[in-house]
Amino acid sequence: MKKTTSGLVLATLLTASVTAWAEPVGQTVGEAFDLESNELLYRETHCVIGSEDAREVIYQNDAGDLIAHKRVDYRSGEFTPSFVQQNFYSRERIEVAMDDGRVLMSVRDEAQPEAVEVSSDAPEPGTQVVIDAGFDYFVRNHWDELVSGEIKEFAFPFAARSSLVDLRIRRFGCSYESETDQCFRLELSNWLYRMLAAPIELGYDATDRRLTRYRGLSNIGDGKGNGQVVDIRYDYDNVPAQACAIPRQALTDNADLPDPVPYSVDRES
């Protein structure tokens, strides 16, 4: 990651791996548009594979090329799933898992496979840990408290910095027009850092309690490795039947991405 201003660095940390929270009941597609130009940048397809504990997220650019791939395992808990993400533009693999009360994190540069950064961190006593897409469960589990105005805090792992960072979420008015969404603001807990980093806006359907919008810095960079500020719009209904049928050859051609846990892939279920 390039070292620029403090605000950009903190914003990048804040969104290192927290997009794609939409609960993939069946299949879900999120289209990521540039927040300013409204240009379509990429699509992310969320799939249930093999069992309810195993999820897959497929990232493709507007031309349909595979740009990233993630597999998530919820057997360690709804709030604390393990995951392996491969970013093909940067040739980087990120792995995070919960192990005996500690969060294990590793970042591997495919250009230098021997240079693997592995670290672990433990939360403060009584602090809730939330990992990656487990945040969606966290929001829905605390829905009533959040809607009533309570602020919820938790520790979130940022593998790029080998540490846990304290975040908070609270109810906030939507910046976009909607008659059905309940919006929340995700930001750093530290008040000083919060002044430097742009928050993340999350929109949920107030009736179904499903993620509909994500507005902020993406965890997917462009072809030059630059960050992208996006407006992701999630669709649970109008998903192509073969959206999850990603060719296995596409993964083989890009990188050897091991499964975080052993499970069978049943594309027909």
Structurally, the chain folds into a number of domains equal to 1
> At 255, is the secondary structure helix, strand, or coil?
coil
Q: What percent of the chain has pLDDT over 90?
A: 38
Q: What is the secondary structure of 48-101 as a DSSP string?
A: E-SSTTEEEEEEEETT--EEEEEEEE-TT-SSS-EEEEEETTTTEEEEEEEETT
pLDDT digits (tens, 9 = 90+) for 216-228: 988 787 777 678 8
DSSP 8-state secondary structure symbol assigned to residue 129:
B
Output the pTM of the full model.
Answer: 0.81
Is residue 174 in a domain? yes
Q: Is residue 51 part of a domain?
A: yes
CB of 15 within 8 A of CB of 216? Answer: yes
Whether 26 is in a domain gets the answer yes
Residue 221 belongs to a domain:
yes
Q: In sequence order, what DSSP letters do the residues of 109-125 get, joined into one string?
A: ETTSTT-EEEEEE-PPT
Q: Mean pLDDT, to the nearest integer, of 167-180?
A: 95
Considering the domain boundaries, does residue 269 fall inside one?
no
CB atoms within 10 A of CB 194: 16
The reply to whether 224 falls in a domain is yes
Q: Of 26-30, 37-41, 139-143, which range is least confident?
A: 26-30
Residue 268 maps to a domain: no
Residue pLDDT, tens place only, 66-118: 999 999 999 999 999 999 988 888 888 889 998 888 899 888 877 666 656 67
Residue 25 sits in which domain range? Answer: 6-254
pLDDT at 243: 77
